[in-house]
Structure 1
Amino acid sequence: MRKNRLYRVLGLALLGFALGVALTQGQQELDPYKEAERQRELFRQTAGILPGELYAAQGEELFHAKRGPKQVSLEACDFGLGPGKLEGALTQLPRYFADTKRVEDLETRIVSCMVRLQGFKPEEVKRDEVKALVAYVASKSSEMPINVVPRTSQEIAMYNLGRELWYHRAGDRDMNCAICHEAYAGRKVRLSPVRSPRQGLSNEWPAYRFEADKLYTLQDRIAFCYESVGIHPPDYYSEPYIALSMYMLAEATRGKNRFTEMPGFTR
């Protein structure tokens, strides 16, 4: 029932999006933040709810449902603050977890809990369900300060790997993350402002991207960057995503950034 409602409301919301596109055609240049806010309000007026909120509602249902071969919920999953405690959990991820003996970001932690607690095989975990669960858990950290500080040897090693990947040039275009997000920080690329990690590059994810009409997690956003420079992205939940997330969010912490409204709404 919830899924059908999701589709019905998203269908109505897309009408609002189409209207917004029609209203903005012919303009030479749009401020992406103002345009995102306008599209956000169109969704509110048309459907009375934002797509990100619908994904979070779907994630809440999945979180509390008894599922998998073991027929248990995810309420016993510990995101770093204790089993089932979600308020502010996103603010301190990635981090090292003793039960898995690895550093995990939010997405990887959700998958490991689905496997260990619910009994799913890794290949049975559905990407769309992980994204909905990300939206729900993230919704409990809206507007909170980012607080990712590598302390353990494992976290420091992951941060160092993330920094190495950030500056590593690769692909046919010989690109790295820093070429865009440091050399062009404060400027615009395809109308969108470019930010460095300390300026809050990673503080709006997960977010619904109205141009793509789907929810993006931070791993989705990193994959998009890989594809944009002609590099095949790694497999989801793999170490490069965790390492880059650790590096960006630790730098965002140094810049005293907060998460935006979670899930966000962006271009």
Structure 2
Amino acid sequence: MKRQACLILSALAALPAWAQTSATDEIAKYRQMLADGNPAELWEMRGEELWKKKAGPKQASLETCDMGQGPGVLKGAYASLPRFFKDTGKVMDAEQRLAYCRMTIQGLTQAEALANPFASPGKPSDIEAIMSYVAAESRGMPMTVSTAHPLEKQAYEVGKKLFFYRGGAHDFACATCHGTDGQRIRLQELPNILNKANAQAAYTTWPAYRVSQGEVRTMQHRLMDCFRQQRFPEPVYASDAVTALTMYLAKSAEGGKFDAPALKR
């Protein structure tokens, strides 16, 4: 299936600009064809096994992890993140919070809890699998991200500044590609995040199975890849800067129905 998808995308990529609207329509049809058999389901199942498996020096499962809705409650948790956590005194996104739970509940070191966040050939990522499961538990629920706490509001404002901050070899910002209508890179349409409907459609579909990579990728991976393409230094995984940018994007998607893990090119 992955080979078939790559061949289709390669063929569409060769089309001239005048044909790219119809090409986009064909990609949408292809996604719809695969929707009932999204490979992300395999990551979700593995993630659930890892969530419930006793592991680490403390030989404990993650079933008591508080992702913001109470210990062990995952329904709606992802759709309400990032958020302020009283036990850490900081705003955390889903991947930061997962690392915290793996350290405090299972006894992993920080290095162990953050190891291998993104899969590579022959090295599947436990984090991507667990995030697939956690995210799936919010499917169909509305985005409800709070900025009521002063630190949540601060994270939102920092994230907004990062979104518009220009730099790197090309003097790009996130807003360069995602702050104007009608932008695209080759076949890829670029959502204008300043448009609420676009922000909702974009944010609520991550994590996602990427056909071109044969892996489920998380929001952190998506942001890392954006910085790479801008020729920015890549931010540290699970850093407060990434959480702040995620907060801005998540709040911009307020009210949107969460529909991930989704399927992407």
TM-score tier by shorter-chain length is 0.7 to 0.9
- Give the 3 Å change call, closer, same or farther, for CA 15–173 of structure 1 in structure 2: closer
Aligned residue for 1:5?
none
What residue ranges of structure 1 are gaps of 5+ in the alignment?
A: 1-12
Compute the displacement of 1:213 (Å). Answer: 2.1
Aligned counterparts of 2:77 and 2:35: Cα–Cα separation in 1: 28
Aligned residue for 1:88?
76
Q: Give every structure 1 segment of 4 or more consecutive aligned residues whose post-TM-superposition deviation is greater than 4 Å.
A: 18-28
Q: 2:189 aligns with which of 186, 193, 200?
A: 193
- Give the 3 Å change call, closer, same or farther, for CA 71–40 of structure 1 in structure 2: farther
User: Within the alignment, does 1:240 sit opposite 2:241 as a pair?
Assistant: yes
Q: 2:156 aligns with which of 149, 159, 167?
A: 159
Aligned counterparts of 2:88 and 2:103: Cα–Cα separation in 1: 11
Please tell me whether the aligned partners of residues 6 and 212 of structure 2 are also in contact (alpha carbons under 8 angstroms): no
- Give the 3 Å change call, closer, same or farther, for CA 31–142 of structure 1 in structure 2: farther
Please tell me whether the aligned partners of residues 40 and 209 of structure 2 are also in contact (alpha carbons under 8 angstroms): yes
Compute the displacement of 1:40 (Å). Answer: 6.0
Q: 2:33 aligns with which of 36, 41, 44?
A: 41
- Give the 3 Å change call, closer, same or farther, for CA 225–38 of structure 1 in structure 2: same
Aligned counterparts of 1:31 and 1:20: Cα–Cα separation in 2: 10
Aligned counterparts of 1:193 and 1:169: Cα–Cα separation in 2: 21
Q: Which amino acid letter does the alignment assign opposite residue 131 of structure 2? A: V
TM-score by length of 1: 0.85
- Give the 3 Å change call, closer, same or farther, for CA 141–32 of structure 1 in structure 2: farther
Please tell me whether the aligned partners of residues 206 and 215 of structure 1 are also in contact (alpha carbons under 8 angstroms): yes
User: Within the alignment, does 1:258 sit opposite 2:254 as a pair?
Assistant: no
In the TM superposition, 1:127-166 aligns within 5 A as: 127=117, 128-166=125-163
Compute the displacement of 1:17 (Å). Answer: 3.1
In the TM superposition, 1:46-125 aligns within 5 A as: 49-125=37-113
1:39-80 Cα shifts (integer Å, max 9, x gaps): 563586xxxx42211111110000000000000000000111
Say how many residue pairs are matched: 247
Q: Which amino acid letter does the alignment assign opposite residue 261 of structure 2? A: P
User: Within the alignment, does 1:178 sit opposite 2:175 as a pair?
Assistant: yes
**Segment drifting more, 164-173 vs 188-197:** 188-197
What residue ranges of structure 2 are gaps of 5+ in the alignment?
A: 118-124
- Give the 3 Å change call, closer, same or farther, for CA 70–156 of structure 1 in structure 2: same
Partner SS, residue 244 of structure 1 = helix
**Percent identity, aligned pairs only?**
34
Q: Which amino acid letter does the alignment assign opposite residue 168 of structure 1? A: Y
- Give the 3 Å change call, closer, same or farther, for CA 33–124 of structure 1 in structure 2: farther
Please tell me whether the aligned partners of residues 47 and 130 of structure 2 are also in contact (alpha carbons under 8 angstroms): yes
Aligned counterparts of 1:181 and 1:66: Cα–Cα separation in 2: 42
1:121-162 Cα shifts (integer Å, max 9, x gaps): 111123211111100000111132111121101111111110
In the TM superposition, 1:183-222 aligns within 5 A as: 184-197=180-193, 198=196, 199-200=198-199, 201-222=202-223
Partner SS, residue 141 of structure 1 = coil
Please tell me whether the aligned partners of residues 36 and 266 of structure 1 are also in contact (alpha carbons under 8 angstroms): no
Aligned residue for 1:223?
224
Q: 2:2 aligns with which of 1, 14, 21?
A: 14
1:17-56 Cα shifts (integer Å, max 9, x gaps): 3564587686543534641541563586xxxx42211111
Please tell me whether the aligned partners of residues 16 and 42 of structure 1 are also in contact (alpha carbons under 8 angstroms): no
Q: Which amino acid letter does the alignment assign opposite residue 258 of structure 2? A: F
TM-score by length of 2: 0.86
